Structures are given as structure tokens and as C-alpha cells.
Amino acid sequence: MVVILYLINTSVRRAWTEEGMIILGKQRIGILGMGTVAKGFCKTYFMNKNEIDNKIDASLDIEKVLVKDIDKKRDVDLPHSVYVDDFNDFNLEELDIIIELIGGVDPAFEYIKKSLESGCHVITANKELMAKRGSELLKIAKNNNVLIRYEASVGGGIPLISTINDALVSNKIVRMMGILNGTTNYILTKMTKERIEFDVALKQAQELGFAEADPTADVDGFDASYKLAILSKDAFGVIPEPEEILKQGIRNISIEDIKYGLELGYKIKLLAIGERNNEHVELSVEPALIPIDHPIASVNNEYNALFIEGNSIGEVMLFGKGAGAMPTGSAVLADVIDVIKKNKDYMGNNNAKNIIVKNIGLSAYYVRMEVLDMPGVLGKIAVAFGDYGISLDSVVQRARGGRFAPLIFITHEIERMKLNDALKTIENKEYVTEIQSIIKVVK
Amino acid sequence: MVVILYLINTSVRRAWTEEGMIILGKQRIGILGMGTVAKGFCKTYFMNKNEIDNKIDASLDIEKVLVKDIDKKRDVDLPHSVYVDDFNDFNLEELDIIIELIGGVDPAFEYIKKSLESGCHVITANKELMAKRGSELLKIAKNNNVLIRYEASVGGGIPLISTINDALVSNKIVRMMGILNGTTNYILTKMTKERIEFDVALKQAQELGFAEADPTADVDGFDASYKLAILSKDAFGVIPEPEEILKQGIRNISIEDIKYGLELGYKIKLLAIGERNNEHVELSVEPALIPIDHPIASVNNEYNALFIEGNSIGEVMLFGKGAGAMPTGSAVLADVIDVIKKNKDYMGNNNAKNIIVKNIGLSAYYVRMEVLDMPGVLGKIAVAFGDYGISLDSVVQRARGGRFAPLIFITHEIERMKLNDALKTIENKEYVTEIQSIIKVVK
């Protein structure tokens, strides 16, 4: 018979056990920021308070909220006295959980660091911070025997992080393909349905509030690459440096490519892809052609989805709204509840140490070029591809009755480097006017 | 300072804490049955053993397997000595976790009951048992301070149960719509794509192994209704009696209905629906028309999916293969890991006590009838609907150049009772030959 002593410091209502810190009774919450997600969090909690308190056998007491302007009128049911405009007014020793919803790296990193070091669990929805400095924060949390959770940083309300860490724990994740940015998916859906160019679709998206005035973070792939970096940590056990993710946005996608893609049986989506090949992981965010009957091809408008392939479970897809005050606030609240109830580290997935990030692998490609409309050109180009060992899956040739004609190829799987070499040669042929598009094709 | 004593009985390597029982070190597993799912479980574990043992800080030791024929050759890497053909040869006191994979109610119920009462956690993939006697088993588990988990009983590898219980814990679930049976979805997909009748599609499915020789459990909705009953427990806190679920299969779906549905912008799917309306829950398994651009309409072939609406998260859908040795075995293993690591009850969702099961609610309906092909009939029928307060959303009228013509209506939302009354009147009109189909329309 073994006897173990557990000590509970009743003054701060925390108990340390072999399993880590356990919080008891009323949970004292501090929130950094009171924007849309923070409001969504509060509203979700107040709406479902009875059921939630019952489940966790505790209640959430929002004691401090950090805002810029204390006196601003806010559409949320909290007493004026909780608001402070200086983080130093958070007495961290008297708080159990800090929820960070101010976004950006600075000063969020410092605030979270101090919170963890003071023994508070932290919940954050900050994708940029978790992608850029997440590994440091995870270490600080571990060293201080507290938890940091970040479900809401990827995919809004869709439970991607917890599914990878818990439900798929018995699997080695082989591949993930995600539509992780709602703005670009909305724009591509618009372009596809209405046969309009990128600029027009972007403008409409901006007018409807689906795209920011400065759309760079979304349309150039930054947002999706932050999210992929976070998923990579949980799915593959590796956090990439920003430059280790191949990143390409959707500005150059033309309506021509969308039309030819459809003709060949593909849709164009901005895909965040993580793929494990033995000892290395390849990560990319780029527009890709995906077969029209693939489940991820039917994810339209502002919806997000993550398609996961495990080595036992096979294919699983999660789908939902990747943004919005209530879904994201609901994910923050799920993390809060999880921290209160489970109070343990995620088990993580595939924590292999010898994984390296790599960008170049085998893929099929879609190539569109303009050529002189004369007999024999198609054959000559096919031969040129063949000289580089590139075989072709499909070809679309269409005479336009003018001097020039478009030629579209879909290759079999090849290395991108080899394709580039072949296209350099082909581009110099006198009958080729221009290589117009090169887009990855995903199966 | 409070001191709490925790006692660990080292001989059985179990510790009781305030959080329930914790198992330490090597986990002694007993498996009931060695069919495809049990093999999938073993293969998944052996394939990913290193990572899993590392994550759970323990290893799984399969010590006993109950089979009918000890000497049968089996394609699984276990020593012959583990096999027994009598449940009494399981020394339950010396096992930690029992995995039940024999299916059916008897003798599975007794075996599980005894296991729980002997202090073993139980994992089961048995949908019929959980649907019919799950509440008893949950109580027995609770009384014995052990856990029973059943993720693999619904949706194969798709983590439906854990998502409802954990990821969506901050939400009140308002509605679920699921494609929970792969066989019927395969048949309906075949019918839709190849424009063939049910009988032909069923025969093809049987030849390909997607349907059993006796297809009743699948095509008549039993399988889906068991799964819906289990989900209802977790999503709404209510376990229905079998007769409380409205159940209708797909035998009567005609290719005509599929064609007219497509024309009107709908696909026909066998949907398991659970809907919460204040104090009651409505549960049904029936073929339904669903808008072609709804995410669940694009779930084809043998795939399953569950579309969930929470009162904060909005819409989330989970998609994957709802059957198969490896996916289902992988879900069993996830449950085993979960029990070892968490060792606590699911928090459950919406455990309201005053929920009653109810079958009749508002819905739109598709009605197909055959009428005499003469002027004025459509108007007369529309008026007859109007007399019962039923307004129409869409109508398809098509002359066939013969004596009879089909008329298709989609109504606005009404009570089914009212529709029945109206159709009784309409059926008796001299210009109506037959009411051929009445199918629910889901938004």
C-alpha cells in the first residue's frame, strides 16, 4: 500500500497533484480585450451558464477585463468595475485563467508569459502569436505546470486542435488538407459561381464585410499559413519557422484557370497542406486544383474545413464556420471548460523529433500556356515534356480562330524542379507565347 | 492547509482519487470477440504502439480474448495462449479494461455488466446494445466508479460522441442531422448517379459487399435509429425507447422522386434527425429531400456525416467512413486511451430532465401524385391545399401526352397531420389517380 500526499493551498484554491494543477470551485477569469470574440465568449457563457456550471461543478467569475477605453459603451453584461486599462491592474495571483483576445504578437506575448509564470492557465485565439512564438509559450506553460490552449486560433468554432489531440490520438497523421481562410474561400467561390475575375470578387467581398480594406493577410496566404503552422505542431509535432511554409496567395488566379479546371473536373481552392513523408513534413499554402467530387471541393463561401488522413482511421473531415464572434467565443469557452475539467497537457500527436520541414515534393500540376494556333504544336510540346520525363494526364486544346490559342496540360506526379526546367525549355520555343499559369493538382 | 490521502492498491494497480479510478502502468486488456473490428483495433495499436505507449505512459497488454473457436487461424499477431472460449475464463479482477466487440444484446449485456461490476472499464462498439440498454449500463458503470465508452458504436472512426461531449460542451445542441448508415447512402448515391431503381442498386451493393444478404437492418432504418438513439443521449440527455423514433427506410424511394428532387434543387438522403424544441426532442430516421448545396447533400457513397447545430457555434459537420475494420478499431483504441488518460465521466450535453421524445413537428414536404392530364387540375389541387392552410413553395407540372400526368408539390412548413388530412381529401378527387410519394424536406 502506497500513500501519496496531495497539498491544497486553500488561500488560492489551487491544488497541485501528480497530474498537474487543479482549480477548485469558482473560477476567477481575466480577459485581455473586449472585441467581438470576447463578447461572443461572454454571451455564450451567459446563455448556457446553468448547464455549463452544472457540468463543470464551478462557475466562471469574470473579474478583470483589459480594454483601451474603460468608459466605452459595450454590448455585454459585465459590471463597469471589471474594466481596467493597464495590465498591471490584473492581480495575477488572484486569477485562475487568463483569456487573451487582443491579437498580434506584442504585447500579447508578454502578457501571456507573465500570466503563465504567475500560475494562471491561458486560453488564446491568437493565431499569429501561436504560429510565431507558440513553442516558447508552450515551454513556459510546461515549466510552470499550467496549460495554454488555443483551439479558437484555428478554424473558429470547428474543433480541429482537440480532434487531432484527442479523437485521433490512436493515429499517425499522414496528411492534412485545409481550407483555413474564409475570405479567400468566399472570393474563389464567387469567382467560380459568377465567372468573375479576382479583383471584382475581392471588391464585392470587401463591400459585404467578408474581406478587410487591406486584404493582404488573407489573400496572400499569411492567415492560412499561421493556422497551418499551429496544426503542424499538433499533427506532426513540428512547429515550422514562417519561411519554411511555401506560401502563395490567390491574386494570380484567373477566371480562365477556374473555367479550364471545371472542364477538367477540378475546382480551385486555397489549400493549406501538411504531408508527412517518413522523416520529413511538407507544408504549403497555395491555390490548388482539387477533384470536383472530393469532399473539400464542396466547401464553399466563407466556410472552413480540414480534411485529415490518419494511418488507421482513413479520411475524416471537419467543416464549419472558421470565424465569427459566437463560434470563436464558443471555442474559447470549450477550452476554458477543458482546462478546468481536465487540467492536463494535450497528448499531442506524432511527436517525432527528427521531422524536418521541406517544401518540394511530388505533385501533379496544371499548366496553362498560350501558343501559336498552328498544326503540330501540341505534339511538339508533349514531346518536350517527355524529354524531361514528364508524362501528361490530360490536355485541353481549343482553337479560337485567331493567331493564338490556349493549351492546358495536367501532368502526372513530378518534382516541381523538373517541371520548372521543362517549362524553361518550352517557354523558349518560337511557337510558345507565354506560360500563363502553373497550379498544383491535389488528389 | 488541507491534506488529502489517496490510497493506491498496488496489487491491482488501481488508485481511487476524488476524480475517480486511475489505472497506472501496464494496462491489462480483455477483448470479447476477434472479428474485423477487433483485428482493426489490434493492428492499429501494433502499428502505432511506440507513439501511443509514449503518450499514455503505459502499454496495452492483451491478456485474454474470447472467441468461439480457439484454434481458428487468425490474421492477428497475438499468442495462441490468450484465446479462451468461455467468458468465465476471464479473471476480471486481474483485468483493467474490457473491450466488447461481439455485437448484439445477448450475451454482450451480461458480459459488460459483470465487467463493470468487477471494476473494469468497458469499451464497446455495440450500437444495438447501447441503444436498447445503454442507460442501464451507464448507471452500472457510475455505481461502480468505472467508465463505459462507445465512440465506435456510431459513425465508425468519425469522432461524433467525443465531439458532442467535449468540443461542443459550451453549446446547447439545437439540431443534428446525420447520414449514419453507409449502405443506404451508397444505394441512394448509386440511384442518383446512375438513375437506377432501388432494387437494382441494392443488388449491386450486395454484389460489392456494401449491403448484407439480408439488408433489413440497413435499408429499413434500424441501424441508423440505434445510432440516433445513442447520439440523442449525448446531445440532448435523453435516451429514447425504440418506438419513440419515427423510422422509415428507403425501399419506397423511386427514381422518379430522385429525378424530380434534383430538378427542384434537392437530393434525397436517409437522414437521422434530432431536433430540440424547448422542452421536447423530436427524433426521426427517414428519407428526406435536402438542398443540393447543403454540405450534407455532398456526402456520397458509403460515407457518413453528422451535421450539428449548436446555439453558439452555429453549424459544424463531421465527415468520414462510418464503418470498416481500421477506422472503427481506431475509434475503439481512442476510447481505450481516453479511459486510461482521463478517467472521468463525459460531461454530457444538455442533461435536461424534462425532455420528452416527440415525433410530430413542422416540416416542409415533397408530394408526388398522378392526376388526369386535363386543364385546371393543378389549380384545383392548390386550392384544396389552401383549404387546409397549406401553402406551396414549388410545383412541377409536366404533360406526358397521355391520359395521366405527374404533379409534384413542395409545401411550406406544416404539421404532418394537417398534410395527411389535406391529402386524404385530395386523394378522393375524381381527377387524382394516386398519391405516390410523401417525403420530408429539410433545410
Per the domain annotation, does B259 fall within a domain?
Answer: yes
Do residues A16 and A139 both lie within one domain?
yes
Q: A169-186: per-residue pLDDT in tens?
A: 889 999 999 999 999 999
Residue B31 has pLDDT above 90, yes or no: yes
Per the domain annotation, does B373 fall within a domain?
Answer: yes
Do residues A352 and A369 both lie within one domain?
no
- From A122, A149, A176, the end of a domain falls on A149
Work out the mean pLDDT of chain A and round it to a whole number: 88
Per the domain annotation, does A337 fall within a domain?
Answer: no
A:80-119 residues touching chain B, CB 8 A cutoff: none
Do residues A129 and A191 both lie within one domain?
no
Per the domain annotation, does A154 fall within a domain?
Answer: no
List of chain A residues whose C-beta atoms are within 8 Å of the C-beta of residue B29: none
Beta strands in A112-265 (DSSP E): 121-124, 148-149, 173-179, 246-247
Asked if the peptide bond before residue B240 counts as cis, ω within 30 degrees of 0, the response is no
- Which of A51 and B177 is assigned the larger pLDDT? B177
Query: What is the DSSP secondary structure assignment for residue A416, as one 8-state letter?
Result: H
**Would you state the pLDDT for residue B286?**
94
Q: How far is A362 from chain B (nearest CA, A)?
A: 26
B:211-240 residues touching chain A, CB 8 A cutoff: none
Do residues B145 and B174 both lie within one domain?
no
**Would you state the pLDDT for residue B242?**
77
Per the domain annotation, does A332 fall within a domain?
Answer: no
Beta strands in B246-385 (DSSP E): 246-247, 266-277, 280-291, 303-310, 314-321, 356-358, 362-372
Q: Could you give the ipTM of this predicted complex? A: 0.85
Annotated catalytic residue, options B43, B227, B267, B440: B227
Residue B3 has pLDDT above 60, yes or no: no
What residue has cell string 490567390? A250
Query: What is the DSSP secondary structure assignment for residue A210, as one 8-state letter?
Result: S
Q: Are B120 and B92 in contact (CB under 8 A)?
A: yes
Domain extent for B196: 164-322+347-358
Average pLDDT for B160-174: 90
Residue A324 has pLDDT above 70, yes or no: yes
Residue B11 has pLDDT above 50, yes or no: no
Q: Decide: helix, strand or coil at residue B63.
A: strand
Q: Are B52 and A169 in contact (CB under 8 A)?
A: yes
Number of structural domains found in chain A: 3
Residue A21 has pLDDT above 90, yes or no: no
Do residues B96 and B174 both lie within one domain?
no
Whether B139 sits among the annotated catalytic residues: the reply is no
Query: What residues form DSSP beta bridges with B53?
Result: none
Per the domain annotation, does B265 fall within a domain?
Answer: yes
Nearest to B172 among A3, A48, A338 (CB): A48
Sign of torsion over alpha carbons B372, B373, B374, B378: positive
Q: What is the number of H-type helices and E-type strands within chain B?
A: 12, 21
Do residues A374 and A354 both lie within one domain?
no
CB pairs under 8 A between A and B: 214
Q: How far is B7 from chain A (nearest CA, A)?
A: 6
Q: How confident is the model at residue B347 (pLDDT cuts 50, 70, 90)?
A: very low
Cα separation of B33 and A252, whole Å?
Answer: 57
Do residues B116 and B187 both lie within one domain?
no
Average pLDDT for B76-82: 94
Nearest to B162 among A166, A316, A341 (CB): A166
Greatest CA separation found in chain B? 91
Q: What is the CATH number of the domain that holds A67?
A: 3.40.50.720
**Any chain B CB within 8 A of the CB of A12?**
no
Per the domain annotation, does A436 fall within a domain?
Answer: yes
Which among B272, B267, B314, B273 has a CA at the least distance from the CA of B294?
Answer: B267
Q: How far is A359 from chain B (nearest CA, A)?
A: 25
Lowest-pLDDT range of A63-72, A359-368, A399-408, B356-365? B356-365
**Would you state the pLDDT for residue A358?**
61
Q: A85-143: per-residue pLDDT in tens?
A: 999 999 999 999 999 999 999 999 999 999 999 999 999 999 999 999 999 999 999 99
List of chain A residues whose C-beta atoms are within 8 Å of the C-beta of residue B234: none
Per the domain annotation, does A304 fall within a domain?
Answer: yes
Q: What is the CATH number of the domain that holds A418?
A: 3.30.70.260
Asked if the peptide bond before residue B107 counts as cis, ω within 30 degrees of 0, the response is yes
Residue A353 has pLDDT above 60, yes or no: no
Cell representation of residue B331: 475509434
Do residues B233 and B95 both lie within one domain?
no
Helices marked H in B155-241: 160-162, 182-194, 198-207, 216-219, 222-236
Does an H or E element contain A382, and which? Answer: helix A377-387
Nearest to B162 among A2, A7, A167 (CB): A167
Do residues B176 and B123 both lie within one domain?
no
Annotated catalytic residue, options A39, A64, A190, A227: A227
Do residues B44 and B184 both lie within one domain?
no
Q: B281-295: per-residue pLDDT in tens?
A: 889 999 999 999 898
Cα separation of A74 and A80, whole Å?
Answer: 10
Do residues B426 and B309 both lie within one domain?
no
Do residues B44 and B136 both lie within one domain?
yes
